[in-house]
Amino acid sequence: MTEPTRRRRNLVHTDPADVALQDALDALTDPVRRSILRELAGEPDFTRACGTFDLPVSKATASHHFAVLRAAGLLEQLDKGARRLNRLRRSEFDARFPGLLALVLAEGPSTDHDRVTCRPGEAASVPDSAGAGRS
Amino acid sequence: MTEPTRRRRNLVHTDPADVALQDALDALTDPVRRSILRELAGEPDFTRACGTFDLPVSKATASHHFAVLRAAGLLEQLDKGARRLNRLRRSEFDARFPGLLALVLAEGPSTDHDRVTCRPGEAASVPDSAGAGRS
DNA sequence: AGGAGTGTACGATATCGATCGAACACGTTG
DNA sequence: CAACGTGTTCGATCGATATCGTACACTCCT
């Protein structure tokens, strides 16, 4: 036996309750990571693999971003075959930082820093209630 | 007329309504800037000059932080003599990013790497609507 | 078994921002 | 006016991190 080095099975998750505000902000400050969260919010849980996201970065960089989001308690991952499925930890993260995730999800789909600084007044429509409101 | 009373220094303010989420997060990600906001929240408006804050940085760096906060629509400044008084733009900023400023102000007074905040047992009772039954 | 697909680990680079000291500008006070 | 206090601007430095290419590990498929 050659010591099965199962790295991929070694998925370390961080409970949102244990996340410091500093780490949460660090994770959310990156526009690529926010786009991941927004894209993930539009679909059911555990239906999107890491590779199915349309990101303007390389595969290695994308993997890094997913790891950061997981470490910040923002998403839960689950290995399904060769793919790694993702789930947005809406309610848990919102319980720790009320309203924060909702702001990210309400952000314009492509508000990197190009242009389109969304008009004030039309930025309060979340596609799916981020758990902030009552069920 | 060569600008009779040119307002002393050029104070450019940004309306919180015109602030992009990216800029808001960039401003709030720095721990020194968050400590400024927290300290400012404890006192009446326009009663604290920039120099009266106890910050672990030099005078030049502190000035930079105040400029960033002002540009992010987080504080309003007013020149009074040689001093520059500050006001936290609570309601305006909260109208643009509901809950965001509250998270910062609720942060522990010295949250360098501290995770005081609230008890984990208090924020863990959230009804999970998604059927992702884990451990 | 072999090959393709998916994702991570690692080392290297590059860019961005926080930081500082010094010089400057403005205002008050002696 | 001179001296001092307050805050900004400038130029440089330094550390963090986003990024990439490559190599590797694991899983599924034929």
What's the pLDDT tens digit per position in A22-80? 999 999 999 999 999 999 999 999 999 999 999 999 999 999 999 999 999 999 999 99
Distances B28 to A70, B33, B36, B80, B90 between C-alpha atoms, Å: 21, 6, 10, 26, 14
Q: What is the pLDDT of residue A133?
A: 35
B134, pLDDT greater than 60: no
Q: What is the dihedral of CA A14, A43, B123, B110, to 10 degrees?
A: 60
pLDDT score, position A9: 63
Residue numbers of A between 27 and 46 with CB closer than 8 Å to B: 28-29, 31, 34, 45-46
More confident residue, B103 or B131: B103
Residue B68 near residue B27, CB atoms below 8 Å: yes
pLDDT per residue as tens digits for the range B30-47: 999 999 999 999 999 999
A28: nearest CB among B25, B34, B128: B25
Interchain contact B94–A (C-beta under 8 A): no
Tokens 């400012």 identify what position?
B40
Q: Report the pLDDT value the prediction gives residue B10, as an integer from 0 to 100.
A: 74
Q: How far is CA A93 from CA A63, B28, B70, in A?
A: 21, 18, 29
CA of A82 to C1' of D29 (A): 12
Q: What integer is the mean pLDDT of A85-111? A: 94
- Averaged over A114-131, what is the pLDDT? 38
